[in-house]
């Protein structure tokens, strides 16, 4: 195959990883995808809310110091993601950002794409804690992209004393193996879900 043709195949594969409904989706089993699509907006919100609260509760059981940060935070957000790797990596999911002061919820989406080696899928949840209103509002209204590796130091004792909000933000990643010591979400974007939020 000529080099130019190979480059075309590579680009198409990368785009397919991001756009394919089977890859860019909430972390649902294959037989649950049609059920998710068939749900009304309020039902989808309810499922996302349930996921977010369950994830937050799990974080608190794994890290006491994360709970301490939460008590200081202006707001928080939780996302559920399925990341699939096959030379190119891609994934997506849904989440919600919560203003602790007002209780207002903004439903959001996430998507990730990159180049990697390996084969398989990884389901994980990401939790953000926002130190102040400005950081929270900017995340919700303008979206956010992780341009570099974001690391949350975590272990059996939770977040280290020296680890807290960085640029107004703290992030945690929970996988099947537990709370990640190095949470890499490089290349991931977060933005408002226009279909799930009420008209402004």
Whole-number pLDDT of residue 162: 42
User: Residue 138 domain-assigned?
Assistant: yes
User: Residue 198 domain-assigned?
Assistant: no
Give residue 94's Cα distance to chain centre: 7
Per residue, the 3-state secondary structure of 85-123, as one string, reads EEEEEEEEEEEEEEECCCCCEEEEEEEEEEEEEEEEEEE
Whole-number pLDDT of residue 188: 84
Whole-number pLDDT of residue 56: 96
User: Residue 200 domain-assigned?
Assistant: no
Please report how the helices 64-72 and 41-62 are oriented relative to each other, as an axis angle in degrees rounded to 10.
120
Where helices occur in 105-195 by DSSP H, the ranges are: 133-142
d(CA 113, CA 174): 19
User: Residue 95 domain-assigned?
Assistant: yes
For the record, the structure tokens of 119 come out as 């084969």
Among 137, 7, 27, smallest CA distance to 84 is for 27
Whole-number pLDDT of residue 50: 95
For residue 173, CA distances in Å to 65, 123, 127, 129, 168 come to: 15, 11, 6, 12, 17
Tell me which residue range forms the domain holding 21.
Answer: 3-192
Q: pLDDT of the chain along its 200 residues, tens only?
A: 443 443 333 333 444 444 444 333 344 544 555 565 667 889 999 999 999 999 999 999 999 889 999 999 999 999 998 655 555 555 678 999 999 999 999 999 998 765 554 445 668 899 999 999 999 999 999 999 876 545 433 333 344 444 588 889 998 989 888 886 445 666 788 999 999 998 76
User: Residue 199 domain-assigned?
Assistant: no
Whole-number pLDDT of residue 4: 45
Element containing residue 81 per DSSP (H, E)? strand 75-99
Whole-number pLDDT of residue 93: 87
In DSSP terms, 128 is beta-bridged to 77, 171
User: Residue 47 domain-assigned?
Assistant: yes
Indicate the number of domains in the chain.
1
User: Residue 44 domain-assigned?
Assistant: yes
User: Residue 115 domain-assigned?
Assistant: yes
């Amino acid at each position: 195959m000529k080099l130019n043709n190979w480059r075309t195949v590579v680009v198409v594969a990368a785009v397919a990883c991001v756009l394919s409904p089977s890859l860019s989706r909430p972390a649902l089993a294959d037989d649950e995808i049609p059920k998710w699509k068939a749900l009304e907006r309020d039902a989808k919100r309810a499922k996302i809310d349930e996921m977010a609260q369950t994830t937050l509760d799990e974080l608190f059981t794994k890290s006491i110091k994360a709970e301490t940060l939460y008590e200081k935070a202006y707001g928080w957000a939780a996302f559920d993601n399925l990341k699939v790797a096959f030379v190119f990596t891609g994934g997506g999911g849904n989440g919600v950002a919560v203003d602790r002061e007002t209780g207002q919820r903004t439903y959001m989406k996430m998507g990730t794409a990159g180049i990697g080696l390996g084969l398989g899928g990884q389901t994980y949840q990401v939790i953000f804690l926002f130190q102040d209103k400005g950081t929270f509002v900017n995340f919700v209204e303008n979206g956010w992209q992780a341009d570099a590796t974001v690391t949350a130091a975590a272990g059996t004792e939770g977040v280290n004393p020296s680890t807290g909000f960085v640029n107004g933000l703290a992030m945690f990643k929970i996988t099947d193996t537990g709370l990640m010591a190095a949470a890499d979400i490089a290349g991931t974007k977060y933005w408002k879900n226009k279909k799930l939020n009420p008209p402004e």
